[in-house]
Structure 1
């Protein structure tokens, strides 16, 4: 299918934003990448995950301690995804391309595919956020209705009750089904997948085999199948829920829009940057703890406008974006707390389950 086009307008909100943000970095004499701050964070998180894994493999402990450490591993996997893989995939982790590549490839070690993520997230989701039948993030099959443009089934009337469990399954679905579905169908949703090179194929399969060896075969050999299965489910389900809820709070809430392209022209109503403001929301931006853990993805507006800028700079450019929005009369969507954002997401799912 043909992808939608965004109009070029004058004066351009996006051009003004870029000019002001570029000026900020020039005046502050700062790099747009993460520098030592994100590198040190990455080292802490990788060391924490590695240590937790080794302790689980080598130390005899009570069941409740083992399950707690399995849950901690799940949280660390999600946090590494937010802080290392995500910035690396966008080229904002480091000024060195090979370091960004290594950061992005942490996803392969953790069971995913950096190639598939780049196509699905960077290329499609960031360009066509919340656009029905294009943004694959809105496709949860028959299980969830995430857009008013999707058909409503009877089960959706109670989706605001059962979505919690489905989110816990995201990680398992991702590494064991979704990646393979894209790989063999050569499609992401309705769009064709970029042709994979030999290196891309090898990276895909080596990553899957490495994950199976580290997180499945070795633990089964050490602890037995049943113990591994329980710990593995705790790890993956907690990681899946955290990954899901953070990304859902950014786009599927009561105040975000789900615009469609004009059926005749194939164009969207708004220029790209305004579209991003209408389809994206921030949450809990005053919480340094949440910002640190989720890799600045609570500043989702700034991330979507400037994906190649590291998340450590989002609090600073947040002020610039808000000022420009006020000047251009563009709505800036933000929930002051995590609780309010979750409540809005639940309310959104509930309303979609009721409306036709």
Structure 2
């Protein structure tokens, strides 16, 4: 497996930042985990998803209403992933770790995904080796998408900025039916060996998939028939996939964020510290929008999240002021796209640029 190390000899920036953040919580006598705002949001989002599902299964509605409810269900599921599952599986939902594990399991496995694989893939690999091509599984999704310059170019990439939304729309289906099974049978998360599965883990994995098939396929087919189910299933997953994918891409694959590359079975030492690496590879967006923050679970503050993953997202707006101040003091980068649309446009521009044939890009750069 490839390995990357960071130069943490000069860690003054992060030590100073941590001290200021710790002081914020202690001075205000608040916990780093979620509070009433997160708990209320949990009930709203889960209630919204359950209501949509139950109406679709128990009430006779016309096709248009069914499509709209399916879309709303998919969106609610994505928001549950951002706000509830994400915080819980990071251990920041509650001070009670057993509650975190329970909520994280219900929120992830309840949507058909494996919280077990997600914790290693996201918490350990992505958060440590952010945007490192060769290790970070989050930028190794598909050969038809080129996320960074070190990834292989193919002619189809010329129009990837046009078709990536359609690929993103399929990402939740791909996650549940392909990515989880790939990890399970290969015992790898991209190039990293997966955690050893116990008998309990094996049973939970297969029960989760069986539950998903029963609840989101068999029962709806019995109610709506094959055609009706297929329309609702595709609509719900398209909305969920688009929402989940774009929010992630806006944090890491936009203009000014950086990437690293490490070939298989090699070791690479970065001259930057881990915290500086997070700043270089991550971007915020729509920081002033409380509406965006609420619906994306604070993941428009990805810089704060990557620096302090065990802090609940409800605290990110306050922490962002501290982080910006420290970045200015230590001359560190702080990337931000002012609005959601600015961030989406930036991502699509990057996709278009990465879609150009590498030799042509080099020649144009030399000519300039």
TM over 0.5: yes
The residue aligned with 2:170 is 169
The residue aligned with 1:135 is 136
Is 1:54 paired with 2:54?
A: yes
RMSD: 1.4
Aligned counterparts of 2:220 and 2:261: Cα–Cα separation in 1: 48
3-state SS of 1:266 partner: strand
* Post-superposition offset of 1:98: 1.5
The residue aligned with 1:10 is 10
Structure 1 residues 261 and 15: alpha-carbon distance in aligned structure 2, compared to 1, 3 A threshold: farther
Aligned counterparts of 1:51 and 1:326: Cα–Cα separation in 2: 46
The residue aligned with 1:117 is 118
Aligned counterparts of 1:201 and 1:69: Cα–Cα separation in 2: 34
CA offset digits 1:51-108 (Å, max 9, x no partner): 1111111111111001000000000010000010000010000111121112211111
TM-score (norm 2): 0.94
* Structure 2 unaligned regions, length at least 5: 359-368
The residue aligned with 2:361 is none
Match of residue 335, structure 2, among 315, 333, 336: 333
The residue aligned with 1:64 is 64
TM-score (norm 1): 0.97
* Post-superposition offset of 1:300: 0.4
The residue aligned with 1:220 is 221
Kept after mapping to 2: 8 A contact 1:74/1:239: yes
* Structure 1 unaligned regions, length at least 5: none
CA offset digits 1:309-356 (Å, max 9, x no partner): 000000001000001100110110000001110111001011111151
- Superposition map of 1:201-350 within 5 A: 201-260=202-261, 266-350=268-352
* Post-superposition offset of 1:259: 2.5
Moved more, 196-205 or 339-348: 196-205
The residue aligned with 1:39 is 39
Structure 1 residues 11 and 229: alpha-carbon distance in aligned structure 2, compared to 1, 3 A threshold: closer
Aligned counterparts of 1:198 and 1:29: Cα–Cα separation in 2: 42
Find runs of 4+ consecutive structure 1 residues off by over 2 angstroms: 9-12, 259-266
CA offset digits 1:15-73 (Å, max 9, x no partner): 11111101110101000000222111101111111111111111111110010000000
